[in-house]
Amino acid sequence: MNSRGSWFMRDRPVLIWLLVALVVSLVHPFFASSRWLMVHLVVLGAVTHSAMVWSVHFTDALLKTRAGFEERRVQSIRLGIFHVGAIAVFVGVPTAIWPLTIAGGTLISGAVLWHAVMLVRRLRAALPGRFRITVRYYIVAALLLPVGALFGVLLARGLAEPWHGRLLVAHTMTNLLGWIGLTVLGTLVTLWPTMLRTRMAPNAESASTHALPILGVGLLLAIGGPLLGSEVLGAAGIVAYLVGTLWVYRPILTSARQRPPAAFPTMSAGAGLVWLPIGLGLMAFSLATRGSWAALSDHYGILTTIFVVGFALQVLLGALSYLLPVVIGGGPSVLRAGMAELDRWSTWRVAVANLGLALCLLPVPSLVRVVLSVVTLVALAVSIPVLLRGIIASVKAKRALEKQPATPGVRHVDTSPRTWSRPQLIAAVSVIAVGATLGVGLDPTAAGLTTAAGQGPVAAQVTPTGHTTTVTVTAKDMRFHPAQVSVPAGDKLVIDLVNTDSTDIHDLVLANGAKSPRLSPGEKATVDVGVVSAPIDGWCSVVGHRQLGMVFKVDVTGSSAAGSASGGGGSGGAMMPGMTHADATGPSPAIDFMKQWPAGFTAYDPVLPPLRDEKVHKVTLTAEDVKTEVAPGVSQVRWTYNGTSIGPVLHGRVGDTFEVTLVNKGTIGHSVDFHASEVAPDLPMRTLQPGQSLVYRFTAKRSGIWLYHCSTMPMSTHIAAGMAGAIVIEPPGLPKVDHSYVLSQSELYLGAQGDPVNAAKVAADQPDALMFNGFVNQYVDRPLAAKAGERVRIWVLDIGPNRPLSFHVVGTQFDTVYKEGTYLLKDGRGPLDPPDYHSGGSQALDLLPAQGGFVELTFPAAGHYSIVNHIMTDAERGARGTFAVTK
Ligand SMILES: [Cu+2]
């Protein structure tokens, strides 16, 4: 077909979508749906557009479709409809506007179905010939896309597990393996040898023909398995698809052996073809071994990266780099000009992208992964300007040629390089090595590097033996194994510490100052304790771990030292009995409960956030350490969700789905447990190490005010440090009131000024203060507002971790009390009272930790009404507030 000249809809949208994807990947830490958006900009935007354009192009070429069968203008309209649909989906999904997503999905499906119909018509109109099978690949692929789009639209609605996981697998298998996979496999059988400028293998057409039914059965099972809830069926389907893929690869490999890829197009596409079976193998393995669909969707990031970046994006970039100069036409010199641009730094680009990608998928430390993914992104992103320059160079060369009279020349000039570039490969390996080193350098503990204690103390009373004792100690489940080691006096002690815990960070600190870095699960370090003259205590310094029993002891054997150890006192750094590093941070500040909050203090907003319309609430909880004043003049490092002294209040109704992304930007492991959910705790409530994140998805089925809290050991300390909050699930038909407030009570266990929580005080159940909404006495100075006669509802939650609450508002009575899912009193009438009884009242709502409810009241007149925990000792140490009621 005639493809000379510029045709806007053919190439430009691809570059635009890739550019937008690049921008999103650069700003991605700043918004929630960025991962979804990056993936879909590439596969739904760029790849799908190219699949629609080029499958028509190749169909026309293979079938020798007569000129004018379908005008380019009509194809442009079809592509236009597709792009309008894609834009609607790109906006609709991240903003949770479901009707927009439905509209977008419908337009996309319509455009691709129309595309399929036109392919069928072409096939019917064509004379018999070779490679009609390729067009059948395109037709099957195009018929699958609307199915995958339907799954996608349902996913966007928000589903609870296990349906979310099952549909996610069905959606990705349909679109990635069905729509994109079949299109690529169908095309490359003929395109690949052309790109390599070699002969097509004799078995190419028969391999294509035999593979299609295998791929089809594979797809049927890979999509049907998850829909029926069968992991085994799904895994079998992917294995079948893998067999079909390898079948198609036979002629492709034959061509590649004749002439190995050396230019960018074949290197990039070839690398993409390598990733496909890797992704399929991992996918089948994950399906067969993961315990649940939720677990699978939780680990989907790696698989998506392989399919989208490794396979689809690299094949797209390779194919476009070949096709663009070819279809611009203009003869060998023009082609040469274009190819020269497109082939720039080809070995380097492909090697960096693939080495980087491969390393990112291995369990490397998180900072190394960040640096490597940036390097990989750069290597891939370079293709965008390179493609543009290639187009410009070709068009320029063509124009120049058109101005001159045609010169007779050789028709086919082979311009592609004969081999890949060794210097570029060396440069690529260097970039990756530097990137990895930089990542390790930024985070030395990540690599488990040896840290010598440096200031290893020299004992005063013993003569060093010159001998070194080396022991291996593992840290696991809040214990050191062994918890005690014996060293001959005068020996140098070296401890090889391994953290074999599956979730928790640990370290080992010794009383003489020697210590290990904090180790993530699986990491190790060497601690040089120095020459040992006296017994030394050790412990894990992660807050709370010592209190849970994570202690260590170095004992001394041998003559001179053993007896003198405790009495000596001269051994460098050894601590006084009873004094420990954890307690040695200084005394905790005293709270003056009469002191007012300074003018600059902003109280935690006690107003219940408004109920929003959406059925799916997308929430990000970021665990982070934040230093804040918790009482006037008293500052502490709080472990927070989203930076506030206690977590944010969430609000929904019965039946709403919550999709909570927990991101750990703290310094130790954290997690979250939503009492409003009914889920198997294993995965969603697991502890995340710093830098990790997870998605916790649940549908709220029962009403009430529910606690959510960090469930990482020791839970008491994590809750006391601030990692807890309230989620209000409104019962159906809840009457409107003039004001709705939320008050959550928790305890404060002060560390030294500016320090985190004192875990020893938590363990001893000795709070320094109590607080409503995370700040001592805050609503005494910043009263809650109401007018006399107005109806006020106060949602109350006891966060704890340990103290009960007797919630009372001085001068008022509650005529309505709701506690733990039921009305104890409604308009002065209890559930067992006769219908005409309305004189019941309540003075206090009693709650144990993790219980909640609400009370309703009306203030009789203007005045100042104290809010108290009527356990008076606790009111006097901070659990107080005021209602300032006006006329
Ligand atoms: Cu925590």
d(CA 583, ligand 1 centre) in Å? 21
d(Cα 418, Cα 882) in Å, to the nearest integer?
Answer: 82
d(CA 683, ligand 1 centre) in Å? 16
pLDDT at 48 > cutoff 60: yes
d(CA 749, ligand 1 centre) in Å? 15
pLDDT tens per residue, range 568-616? 333 333 333 333 334 434 678 888 888 899 988 999 999 999 998 888 8
pLDDT for the residue 453: 36
d(CA 753, ligand 1 centre) in Å? 21
d(Cα 20, Cα 14) in Å, to the nearest integer?
Answer: 10
d(Cα 107, Cα 96) in Å, to the nearest integer?
Answer: 18
* Helix-helix angle 264-289:231-258, to 10 degrees: 160
d(CA 46, ligand 1 centre) in Å? 41
Mean pLDDT of the 126-134 span: 81
pLDDT at 30 > cutoff 90: no
Residues in the chain, total: 887
Other CB atoms within 10 A of residue 448 CB: 21
d(Cα 470, Cα 362) in Å, to the nearest integer?
Answer: 31
d(CA 800, ligand 1 centre) in Å? 15
Residue pair 465/490 in contact by the 8 Å Cβ criterion:
yes
pLDDT tens per residue, range 14-28? 888 888 888 877 766
pLDDT for the residue 436: 73
Q: Higher-confidence residue: 412 or 615?
A: 615
pLDDT band (50, 70, 90) for residue 546: confident
Quickly list H helices, 488-558: none
DSSP per position, 405-463: PP----S----S-SS--HHHHHHHHHHHHHHHHHHHHH-GGGGT--B--SSPPPPSSS-
Mean pLDDT of the 702-714 span: 95
Residue pair 554/512 in contact by the 8 Å Cβ criterion:
no
* Per-residue CA distances from 76 to 44, 185, 196, 309, 324 (Å): 17, 25, 30, 27, 18
Spatial CA neighbour of 234 closest among 225, 246, 244, 243:
225
pLDDT tens per residue, range 159-207? 666 777 788 889 989 999 999 999 999 998 888 888 888 888 888 888 8
d(CA 451, ligand 1 centre) in Å? 27
pLDDT tens per residue, range 343-375? 778 888 888 889 888 888 777 766 777 788 888
Q: Higher-confidence residue: 155 or 704?
A: 704
pLDDT tens per residue, range 643-659? 999 999 999 999 999 99
pLDDT band (50, 70, 90) for residue 563: very low
Mean pLDDT of the 401-422 span: 58
Share above pLDDT 90 across residues of the chain, in percent, rounded to a whole number: 41
d(CA 592, ligand 1 centre) in Å? 28
pLDDT for the residue 31: 52
d(CA 711, ligand 1 centre) in Å? 7
pLDDT for the residue 576: 31
pLDDT for the residue 724: 97
Most confident of 118-132, 170-184, 280-294, 320-334: 170-184
d(CA 664, ligand 1 centre) in Å? 9
Residue pair 856/843 in contact by the 8 Å Cβ criterion:
no
d(Cα 544, Cα 252) in Å, to the nearest integer?
Answer: 59
d(CA 712, ligand 1 centre) in Å? 5
d(CA 40, ligand 1 centre) in Å? 33
Q: φ and ψ at 855, to 5 degrees?
A: -125, 155
pLDDT for the residue 478: 85
d(CA 628, ligand 1 centre) in Å? 17
d(Cα 281, Cα 632) in Å, to the nearest integer?
Answer: 59
Q: Cβ neighbours of residue 850 under 8 Å, at least 6 residues apart?
A: 675, 707, 798, 799, 800
**Range of weakest confidence among 50-64, 94-108, 316-330, 803-817:** 316-330
d(CA 723, ligand 1 centre) in Å? 6
DSSP per position, 114-153: HHHHHHHHHHHHSPS-TTHHHHHHHHHHHHHHHHHHHHHH
pLDDT tens per residue, range 473-485? 999 888 898 888 8
Give the distance between the most distant pair of CA atoms in the chain: 107
Residue pair 771/630 in contact by the 8 Å Cβ criterion:
yes
pLDDT at 298 > cutoff 70: no
Q: Higher-confidence residue: 634 or 24?
A: 634
pLDDT tens per residue, range 195-254? 888 888 888 888 889 999 999 999 999 999 888 888 889 899 999 999 999 999 998 888
d(CA 251, ligand 1 centre) in Å? 55
Most confident of 323-332, 498-507, 550-559, 850-859: 850-859
- Average pLDDT along the chain: 84
* Helix-helix angle 48-63:314-328, to 10 degrees: 50
d(CA 625, ligand 1 centre) in Å? 10
Share above pLDDT 70 across residues of the chain, in percent, rounded to a whole number: 88
d(CA 688, ligand 1 centre) in Å? 9
* Helix-helix angle 48-63:72-92, to 10 degrees: 160
d(Cα 590, Cα 823) in Å, to the nearest integer?
Answer: 41
Sign of CA dihedral 747, 752, 754, 759: negative
d(CA 165, ligand 1 centre) in Å? 27
d(CA 646, ligand 1 centre) in Å? 12
Q: Higher-confidence residue: 506 or 8?
A: 506
d(CA 650, ligand 1 centre) in Å? 19
Q: Higher-confidence residue: 797 or 264?
A: 797
pLDDT at 666 > cutoff 80: yes
3-state DSSP assignment of residue 669: coil
pTM (predicted TM-score):
0.59
Which residue's entry shows tokens 């000009």? 337
Strand 863-869 with 616-631, pairing? unpaired
Other CB atoms within 10 A of residue 5 CB: 11
pLDDT for the residue 865: 95
pLDDT tens per residue, range 490-544? 888 999 999 988 878 888 988 887 888 888 888 888 998 888 888 888 988 877 7
pLDDT for the residue 293: 66
Beta strands in 9-131 (DSSP E): none
Burial class (CB in 10 A: 0-12, 13-18, 19+), 613: exposed
